[in-house]
Amino acid sequence: MNQIDEDERGRILESSPIGTFALMAIVIGSMVIAWLFLYFGVFIPRGIIN
């Protein structure tokens, strides 16, 4: 396994987790799309509650 020096270790620890942010954006986006589908595809066509 390659050893890294202290400068590289500090740079890695101070960088933001881009992959985590991308995964969170994908999950949140898919949840919003699913909610919009349920709202406009299921609830609105059924009409008001009698």
Provide the token pair at 27: 């999950």
Q: What is the domain count for the chain?
A: 1
Is residue 5 one of the residues assigned to a domain? no
**Residue % of the chain over a pLDDT of 90:** 58
**What per-residue confidence (pLDDT) applies to 1?**
57
Asked whether residue 10 is assigned to any structural domain, the reply reads no
State the average pLDDT for the chain. Answer: 91
Q: Which residue has the higher pLDDT, 50 or 15?
A: 15
Residue burial 21-35, b: 16+ Cβ < 10 Å; e: rest: eeeeeeeeeeeeeee
Is the pTM here over 0.85, yes or no?
no
Is residue 26 one of the residues assigned to a domain? Answer: yes
- Would you say residue 27 lies in a domain? yes
Q: Is residue 2 assigned to a domain?
A: no
Question: What's the CA angle centered on 37, arms 26 and 27, to 5 degrees?
Answer: 15
Would residue 1 count as lying in a domain? no
Domain membership of residue 44 as a residue range: 17-50
Within a domain: 8: no
